[in-house]
Structures are given as C-alpha cells and as structure tokens.
Structure 1
C-alpha cells in the first residue's frame, strides 16, 4: 500500500508505510531535516497553479521622440516549465512637445531646482499614464480586465555608469523620471519601475538590460548572433552560440542622439531627425573628424560600459558641426560625418568585442535601423554577416525595448531574478525593479502565490527557456 503525500492540496509523491515511518522519525530528530526527502527534482511539475499575467511594457528612449508600448501575455504551467510570451498589441505615442522641451532644457543645461525636478517627474508619470490609456482604447482592449501589470522606464534624466571618465568628484548614478505612483493611481493597475537603479544597486551599470531577453528569443546552437538596437544611444547584445547564459551586452556609443541634434541644429528645430538618411546621403564624410571622435575615452574604454547624453549630448554634436562649418563644410557634410561616427563605432565594436569567430547574424532594431547610411556601412564592413531586422522574429522593430521591460516587469512581480550577462562587474543575481500597488494588487499577488505553492525559495532560478508564441498584433 502507498500513502499519498500532499502539501497545501498539491500531490507530491507516494510513500510506503515503512518509508513514511522513517520520514516521520527523522522529522522529529533535531539533526535531520525532513526537507531532504522532498526536493523539487522529485516533484511533479504541476507544483502550483499555472500562471497567466498580462503586462503592458513601456519605454521612453533617449531620443525622446515618444513612448513605445506593448501588451504581452505571459503564461507558465509551473515554476520549472518554460515561460511563454505572446505579443498582443503594440503602439507608439509621441512625447508632448511641451514636456519634451522642458526635459531637453533640463538635460542640456544640466542645472535645475527641486521644484522643477518634482514637476517633471509628475508630468512624465502622467504622460505614461495617458499613453497607456490611449493605447488600450486605440487597440480595443479593456485596461482593468485585460492588464495585470504596467512596467517600464521613464525618461532618462541622468545616467553616469563610468564616473572615472569624468572630472571631479563623480559617482555611479542613474535617474529616470515618470512617477509610478501616478501611473498606478490613474490606471488602477499595479505599476513597476526603477529597473536600472536596481541593477546598479547590484553592482552593475543599469544598461542596456536586454541581453537576457535577446538570448531567450534568439540564442542558436550553431550560430553567433547579435541584436543591434540603434536608439538615442546604440547598444547590442552578443549571443554566442550554445548556452543561453553566455550572452553579454553594452553601449557602443551614440546612436541617433548626435544625428538628431545636428538635424535640429540645421533646421532650427523644424525637423527632429534625418528621415531615411536623406540629409546625410547628400554629404561627404570628413574621416579625420570621425577618427578624432572615435579616439575619445569612451570608445577606447573596455567593456562593460554604458553611456548616455552626459557623454554624447547635443552640445558635443553642435561643436562638431561648428568645427566642420568653419572649415567650409555644408550641413549635409556635417550630418554625413556624424552618421558615420555612429556606423563606424558599431563596426569597430563588433571587431573588438564580438566573438572571435565572428558574428553570423545581426538583428537590427530601433529608429536608427531605418537609416540606410548606417546599415549599408555595416554591410560593407561585415560582408560575411547576415544583417536582418528584429521583425523577422515577429516583433515590430520599435517594440523590442518595451518588450524587454514587459519581461522585467513580469519577472520582478513573480520574484524571479533575470539572467546576469557575462562581462559585467558583478555576477550577483537579484530581482530588479520596484512595485507600486494598484487596486488589483491583492488578486495578482494571490495568483503568483498559488503559482509558486510550496516551491522552495532557495530553489528559484532565472528563466532560461522561453517560447515566443505567434504575435496577435494587427
């Protein structure tokens, strides 16, 4: 005869009366822990209830052109089963010009008041909340019924991961603004944020944060792959063939931030970016300027490294333009040269820090991936590499970083650490993010508790298997 053993109503295993008696005696012995008889490896994988959470991920990038949002459905049958991710909806919403100008002024001048900082934080929180509500309305889903969590990054105000590159008494720090209390209050949905600060607290640089997502989506057994994002700042994830946990990522330098600044400079703010690379295509590259900039301290600094407008701000781009204009260059020459700085910094980074046997495939994303002057240069420098776009995977080009924040949001609320990329200062695992409860907090907290059941906390590991289900985006 076998006796069924259950914990909190969940069947664990069957024991004979003889073994059961031995376990009972051992549990009363002060030096023997009955826990040793019931390990996760011996447990049926339906430890608790299957998990189903719908998440809105949002991202306000360094370019400050708008807010990207995704609506994602995460499901998982048990704590040891693969995580399933399905993209339901995707949308982009412009940053209100009044708010954008206020933030740009704050960043460019690098001086402010406590009052201004407080106002900007509240305003940006309201921008995200309004974008979320518009997103749900435009895509035709009910916010309170079909969203469990909202999470993402606010607008980056300050990002200084490498204080040693600056003069004076600096320290590693990050600040992005969009008050999550405003988002949670206005939407009634539990909201998460401060992922980058959480990563810094664990001894890392807070950026780019998406190597884990990229590796879960695209790691290949026989191909070295990379996922290239060209937003305001350019970064890529290297995905060495084989092990998912072998990924690493870093910022290569300016992406669109210099190009956008130059275009605004020459159009008196009437044009925000170089659409389809048209302005840069008409100019001639000043290679001496490119080489001078790429000899700068950030580009020669070893990985890990990340950066932001503190290093590559509008003033630096304008100074480059003024220097070239004084030598007789045209505005088109300036934009062409600044675009080459971005493109060449990418190719140089692949050569220096990519896999020794080369990169087989690059998946492009971010606004800069639409600039043919960048993409064509990469193809010339890397002729053996297949260069394609993220949307080949079913993910829209502009959606990937918002999708990354959706995953971070899910894993934070579930209480699971993310994969720690290689080539970082600290391999200390940890759950990243902060939570602002909404009116739905009790319900979703119960769902997560039922999912884990009695799964031992010390046995919780990062997600290393994820299935991307077919997208339902229209």
Structure 2
C-alpha cells in the first residue's frame, strides 16, 4: 500500500512530506515488511502561519478562538502539501499519516502526561479522499508510556539483523530540534529477539536555532553550515552550567521538548557562569552541549557499548555538530556514519518512520515502545475515515523491515 506521511518537527521549519510503498512480503501474521520510498520533500510553511506556529511553540498564550484558527490553518496547509504530493504520483495514495506540529509535550515528575499536536486531520482526508491517521503519540502516553521517541519502532525492525550479525549493539541518533537516541541490541546481549532502548537525550538544534534567531532578530533561524560554531570557542563555564540540568541525569525512558529546553535555560546558565559569550562562542557551546549529551546517552544506554552510531536529521547538515559528536564518540571507540551511508536519506528517515507507523496501525499492530509498561502496548493514532474505507487484515506484528528503491541500499554500510 502507498502511505503518505506528513510532519513538522520541533524546529517548525517546514512540512516534511514523503510517500512510500509499504507491503508485507509474505502471508503470515507477522510478515517481513518491505518499504520503498517514492517521494520525499520539504515544503516551507507560509510566512504568516510559520510566525504564528513559532510563537505558539514558544509558549505564547492563545484564546480558544485563536487556537481553533491555528489548528485549522495548519490542517489546511498540511492538506495542500499532501494533495500536491499525491497528484505527483500516478495512482495517488491509499493512506495518509499526519504527525502534525507539536505545540507542547507535557512532562511532569519525570514522565509524559500528555502531548499536543495541531493540524486538523479532517482537512487532509477531504483533500485526498483517503483515510488519515493522526494523534499518534497519545495512546502510548495514556497506557503509561512516554509517547516518544517513536524512531525505535523503525530501528528495531530495520537494524536487528545487523546488530545480530555484528554481535554488538547499534545506535541511531536523530538530530532534530530535540535529539533522540535508539540502541538496538542483539539476542546474545539482550535475550531472545534482542532489545531496544530509545529516549530523548536532550536538545539537538532547538537551543542553537533559538539563540541565533534571537540574536539576529529573526533574520537567521539556524547556524547555517555550522559557521558560527566553527568561528567560536566553547565557554567551559557555561557548558558546565548547562550540563547540570537535571534532565541529563534522569534515567530513561524519558522524553522532552522545547517546553523544557528553551532560551530561559541558556540565559540562566550564562548568568550563573558570570560570563558574556559572543554569539559564535554561545553557539559553539550549545553545539558542544548536544555532542556531549548525545555521546553520554549512547555510551550509557546499554551495558555493552555500541559498535557504531548512525546519525540522521537536520543536524547532519551542520559540519560543526557532526565533527563534535564524532570526536566525543571516538573517545569511546564508537564509529559514526550518517543514515545516507546506510541507504536512508538523513532528511527523510523520520517521514519514513511515520509511513511505517501507518502500516502498523492500519493492520492493528500494537507498538511496544521501550517506555511502555509490559503488556500495555497500544495501536497508535486515531483514524479519520473516508467513505468506503475498510481497515487492513489484522496482523500480530512484523518480523523485520527491508528497504528498497532508488534512494535505498541494503542495510550494510
């Protein structure tokens, strides 16, 4: 089946749309699944709506009327992007999955209590005349899980065979606004079927983007090509204050977002350090924070240190961040490669994840995330059904994930 996925990450820099062919390779109740990407692109938000989304993500208060309008406008822009993508493919699509735009991820006492994504799915269903899966995190949270990160679902299916072949854990890192870490372990280390650890390690690009946007009055929204970090020097006192944040020492499973890591955290660290870093020095320091906390998370996630880390997400395009992360992980003998080297475009991996989530939910397969209590795995998301829709045959699980297509190679570096 052809599944279209839509999402806008914590950086809120555009709508990522992808279409993938996702099909079972056998008739069993737990088949191996093949995934072949057909299309992937990022479409910028309209300027006016982008400004409103950034204000909402930053915590600006809204009336019910303003929230209703924002939810509707976001849904309409998601729908327009989806319709254009589907029209570019002869035969269209069978299902859409919309993660939406996260406004808030509520964490209290170390656990997720709720999550809020906007972009009304009914507009997407109307535009495509196809069913839409949305609100994909809430069921797991209601069952006692963290609702994040979801990437472990993809990586466990994709990399379990490679981890078994190497007889060592393999880690992945997604460097979006927030960094998430997944570690897939072979059966020899984590029992029959292997194991999975997945959690948010802390900020990736979120604090850097916010610092640059504030310093440039919004003229710039990121450290393009890592030029600022490369021109600056790490302020060790500010870095020490940032590393003292309690989130970093909390045990997984855990999840976080911009509501935890915002400019107030940076300003407090600078004030406590008693320094006045320039913008390049501050960005270099925040880049070092990402590298240190991601590396610490990878190193400590499992008893056996992973053999390698596969990196994806927007941070892959920041040479300064990739250099810093590679240098810290090298101290622990951990090799670093990008997902492109393993056959998945770094910018597209998260979109392909949501296509897989759509396949799982369409077939009634519960998603067992590392933070989900035993026996409480739930089918993710809520369907907006269009006339004539019949859900797929009920499956008990999938036995693995194979990647195919012009943009994909076998999962061997």
Establish whether TM, by shorter chain, passes 0.5. yes
Give, in angstroms, the shift of residue 297 of structure 1: 1.4
Q: Distance in 2 between matches of 1:131 and 1:106?
A: 21
Gap regions ≥5 residues in structure 2: 409-413
Moved more, 58-67 or 390-399: 390-399
Counterpart position of 2:133:
192
Is the counterpart of residue 234 in structure 1 residue 179 in structure 2?
yes
Whether the 8 Å CA contact 1:216–1:244 is kept in 2: the answer is no
Q: What is the RMSD computed on CA atoms of the aligned residues?
A: 2.1
1:348-405 CA distance string (max 9 Å, x none) = 212222x222111111101112222222222222222221111223221111111111
Q: Distance in 2 between matches of 1:375 and 1:407?
A: 27
Gap regions ≥5 residues in structure 1: 1-52, 453-459
1:388 corresponds, among 337, 341, 356, to 337
Q: Distance in 2 between matches of 1:331 and 1:94?
A: 26
Counterpart position of 1:205:
146
Q: Distance in 1 between matches of 2:113 and 2:338?
A: 33
Whether the 8 Å CA contact 1:263–1:271 is kept in 2: the answer is yes
Q: Distance in 1 between matches of 2:270 and 2:50?
A: 23
TM-score (normalised: structure 2): 0.90
Counterpart position of 1:467:
402
* Cα distance change of structure 1 residues 133 and 319 upon mapping to structure 2, 3 Å threshold: farther
The structure with the larger Rg is: 1
Moved more, 103-112 or 267-276: 103-112
SS of residue paired to 1:298 = helix
TM-score (normalised: structure 1): 0.79
Q: Distance in 2 between matches of 1:414 and 1:165?
A: 32
After TM superposition, list the pairs within 5 Å mapping 1:84-233 onto structure 2.
84-137=34-87, 140-142=88-90, 145-161=91-107, 163-164=108-109, 172-219=113-160, 220-221=163-164, 222-233=167-178
Give, in angstroms, the shift of residue 423 of structure 1: 5.2
Q: Distance in 1 between matches of 2:365 and 2:275?
A: 56
Counterpart position of 2:212:
263
* Cα distance change of structure 1 residues 245 and 117 upon mapping to structure 2, 3 Å threshold: farther
Is the counterpart of residue 311 in structure 1 residue 260 in structure 2?
yes
1:220-274 CA distance string (max 9 Å, x none) = 2123111110100000111112465511200000110000011111111111100
* Count of paired positions: 396
Whether the 8 Å CA contact 2:168–2:304 is kept in 1: the answer is no
Whether the 8 Å CA contact 1:154–1:177 is kept in 2: the answer is yes
* Cα distance change of structure 1 residues 424 and 192 upon mapping to structure 2, 3 Å threshold: closer
Q: Distance in 2 between matches of 1:176 and 1:192?
A: 13
Give, in angstroms, the shift of residue 319 of structure 1: 5.1
After TM superposition, list the pairs within 5 Å mapping 1:325-364 onto structure 2.
327-353=275-301, 355-364=302-311
Moved more, 274-283 or 377-386: 377-386
Whether the 8 Å CA contact 2:180–2:198 is kept in 1: the answer is yes
Q: Distance in 2 between matches of 1:224 and 1:106?
A: 39
2:230 corresponds, among 281, 285, 296, to 281
Q: Distance in 2 between matches of 1:400 and 1:244?
A: 24
Q: Distance in 1 between matches of 2:201 and 2:109?
A: 17
Counterpart position of 2:411:
none
Give, in angstroms, the shift of residue 329 of structure 1: 2.3
Counterpart position of 1:404:
353
